[in-house]
Amino acid sequence: MNAPTKNKNLLNWVAEIEAMCTPNQVVWCDGSAKEYDRLMGEMVESGMAIKLNEEKRPNSYAFNSDPSDVARIESRTYIASVKEEDAGPTNNWTDPVELKKTLTKLYTGCMKGRTMYVIPFSMGPIGSPMAKIGIEISDSPYVVVNMHIMARVSPKVLEVLGDEGEFIPCLHTVGSPLEPGQKDSRWPCAPIEEKYIVHFPEENLIWSYGSGYGGNALLGKKCFALRIASNMARHEGWMAEHMLILRFTNPEGKQFHIAAAFPSACGKTNLAMLQSTVPGWKVETIGDDIAWMKPGEDGRLYAINPEAGFFGVAPGTAKSSNPMALASCRKDAIFTNVVVTDDGDVWWEDMGVECKGGTDWHNNPWKSGMKDGEGNTIKGAHPNSRFTARAALCPVLCPDWEDPAGVPIDIFVFGGKRANTIPLIHEAFNFEQGVYMGATASSEPTAAALDLGNVSLRFDPFAMTPFIGYHAGDYMQHWFDMGETLGDKAPRCFYVNWFRKTDDGKWLWPGYGENSRVLKWMCDRVEGKVDAVETPIGLMPKDGDLTLDGLDISAEDWAELMKVDTHLFKTTLSNAREYLAKFGDKLPAKMVEQMDALEARLG
């Protein structure tokens, strides 16, 4: 096929990769429905894809991966910066020269017997001043169809790129060359110890080898839009964050834009698509995973969602927890590692419906309640099984979610999963304390940590631990620097904990749609409609300002939910000091100031 571009750098790179990987053929992708249908047809033919029942789930397909290839693999993910200290303690580092030698050996001939797809994509609305162009080369047709949904794949990307434009080269292979006559496996990939997901930050280059799954293979997402972009952002004065973006509109039509960072399993996608229970207030979704944010001409911080779809965790997605996510994958969707029911639809654990029979993610016959030889329930879907859904199908998507200028962020929300210590909501006194809150966001693995003596906290700064493409201490300093740039136009910062429990393990807060009450209090604060109570940890709602009308929460439970136990807080602070000590002399002085000030306030 003739290359649809005259961009020399791109043509040279594609020629170089073709020579190294020796595919059967090179196909330039155009992102069209025709291309999507053709590839799906080929994958159904080869047995890789299952076409779902057209009546139940129109234009949708299911895939089952190899059991060794089901999630991001942090132990095989590298930041190969020239200097080790630039990768910092939260990343795996390997010398880029050595790594390139190892990988070049693996890449040589790795696409034998396969097609090499060249996928031009834009992260962010094509042509937006905040968007960036990437080119993914991959030998996986599964990657191509997922990229169609998750990014903007179109010939327009090459038009915007032009003859001289710059792009992020993203090289991917499943690492499973085919000898002549060799039958392909259903989900080709390389063994774990041969998988590599590598970022070269000085070259803005991504090399991924051996995995076909999610964030390891759809390189626009975690690799580009977070790891590489966070490093670019720090040099260029913007931010690439692991945050959802939503719009909350009050009954008078005033809009507030909220960006929120939560570690995994804290309901980020649910919050992004929340159904407000506050009368007259409405939530609309802009993004569920990544925010790119840049100061605008008016000095405020503007955000875009660089993605075009949702790559959501399937188990737990139900009518009760997130009807909007379910609706987003009602058609035109891809499902990976779920149950395919006997009537050609999909099912997963905690979907809120029974599965009478189907095929599990291992391709074995399956039905609800099945047990293994030892009496353990066999799960039908993998816990990290996913739906790939088009954002455009989300019923509560903001109509202007693709505004190239982005939306002005009013509020940052941080949080974690804590059974105790952290109240439902508190606000930072100022942006710098907000940075401390984000940097020390923590969850405890189980409610067993109620036992004070053994609190084992997992810190996950800004929910970015696996995604900061450089030294995490420098990253924290970048947050402080952004605060200085934004000055009094910086978003207000809040910390929430939806997960507080009583001593006997009962949830104190109903969560889900009721979280809108907490968001409303934040908006009222931003508007100056309500005062707050000053406590040692920050600002908290005055009695009655966060309305509980219609909720069955006793006065004692409310007091417990909002309690600031200074003794417990001191334990969290000392855990935070211990955690942050590993950043050594890269830990910003301002972070130490924040910790000292908090300690003094706690008395």
- Considering CB distances under 5 to 8 angstroms, the limit depending on partner class, which of ligand OXD, Mn ion, none binds residue 358? none
Number of residues that bind Mn ion (CB under 5 A): 1
The single-letter code of the amino acid at 383 is P
Choices 43-51, 282-290, 376-384, 525-533 (CB under 5 A): range interacting with Mn ion: 282-290
Does 493 qualify as catalytic in the annotation?
no
Cβ distance to ligand OXD smaller for residue 49 or 243: 243
**Distance between CA atoms of residues 242 and 468, nearest Å:** 10
Cβ distance to ligand OXD smaller for residue 74 or 578: 74
**Distance between CA atoms of residues 267 and 321, nearest Å:** 9
State in angstroms the smallest separation of the CB of 256 from Mn ion: 23
State in angstroms the smallest separation of the CB of 597 from ligand OXD: 32
Cβ distance to ligand OXD smaller for residue 72 or 520: 72
- Considering CB distances under 5 to 8 angstroms, the limit depending on partner class, which of ligand OXD, Mn ion, none binds residue 264? ligand OXD
- Considering CB distances under 5 to 8 angstroms, the limit depending on partner class, which of ligand OXD, Mn ion, none binds residue 288? none
Phi, psi at residue 283, to the nearest 5°? -100, 135
Could you give the maximum distance between any two Cα atoms of the chain, in Å?
74
**HEC string of 400-411?**
CCCCCCCEECCE
State in angstroms the smallest separation of the CB of 511 from Mn ion: 19
Residue 91 and residue 78 in contact, taking contact as beta carbons nearer than 8 Å: yes
- Considering CB distances under 5 to 8 angstroms, the limit depending on partner class, which of ligand OXD, Mn ion, none binds residue 215? ligand OXD
40, 205, 313 from 264: Cα distances, Å = 31, 27, 10
State in angstroms the smallest separation of the CB of 149 from Mn ion: 16
Residue 43 and residue 49 in contact, taking contact as beta carbons nearer than 8 Å: yes
State in angstroms the smallest separation of the CB of 268 from ligand OXD: 8
DSSP-derived letter for residue 509 is S
**Distance between CA atoms of residues 99 and 448, nearest Å:** 42
Cβ distance to Mn ion smaller for residue 329 or 508: 329
Cβ distance to ligand OXD smaller for residue 77 or 128: 77
Residue 386 and residue 314 in contact, taking contact as beta carbons nearer than 8 Å: yes
Phi, psi at residue 522, to the nearest 5°? -60, -45
Tell whether residue 289 is a contact of Mn ion (CB under 5 A). Answer: yes
- The two tokens of residue 4 are 């649809």
The residues binding ligand OXD (CB under 6 A) are 72, 215, 264, 289, 311
The SS3 assignment for 51 reads strand
Choices 245-253, 287-295, 324-332, 505-513 (CB under 5 A): range interacting with Mn ion: 287-295
**CB-closest chain residue to Mn ion:** 289
Please tell me which residue in 110, 223, 266, 523 is annotated as part of the active site. 266
- Considering CB distances under 5 to 8 angstroms, the limit depending on partner class, which of ligand OXD, Mn ion, none binds residue 410? none
**Distance between CA atoms of residues 319 and 341, nearest Å:** 18
Residue 242 and residue 226 in contact, taking contact as beta carbons nearer than 8 Å: yes
**Distance between CA atoms of residues 38 and 325, nearest Å:** 27
State in angstroms the smallest separation of the CB of 299 from ligand OXD: 31
DSSP-derived letter for residue 348 is -
State in angstroms the smallest separation of the CB of 463 from ligand OXD: 8
**CB-closest chain residue to ligand OXD:** 289
How many Cβ atoms sit within 10 Å of the Cβ of residue 553? 14
Cβ distance to ligand OXD smaller for residue 77 or 81: 77
Only one residue has tokens 């599964």, namely 142
- Considering CB distances under 5 to 8 angstroms, the limit depending on partner class, which of Mn ion, ligand OXD, none binds residue 459? none
Cβ distance to ligand OXD smaller for residue 35 or 289: 289
The single-letter code of the amino acid at 204 is N
**Distance between CA atoms of residues 476 and 79, nearest Å:** 18
- Considering CB distances under 5 to 8 angstroms, the limit depending on partner class, which of ligand OXD, Mn ion, none binds residue 250? none
Cβ distance to ligand OXD smaller for residue 80 or 261: 261
State in angstroms the smallest separation of the CB of 71 from ligand OXD: 8
In angstroms and rounded to an integer, the radius of gyration of the C-alpha atoms of the chain is 24
DSSP-derived letter for residue 5 is -
- Considering CB distances under 5 to 8 angstroms, the limit depending on partner class, which of ligand OXD, Mn ion, none binds residue 227? none
Which stretches of the chain bind Mn ion, using CB under 5 A?
289
What amino acid positions are annotated as catalytic residues?
266
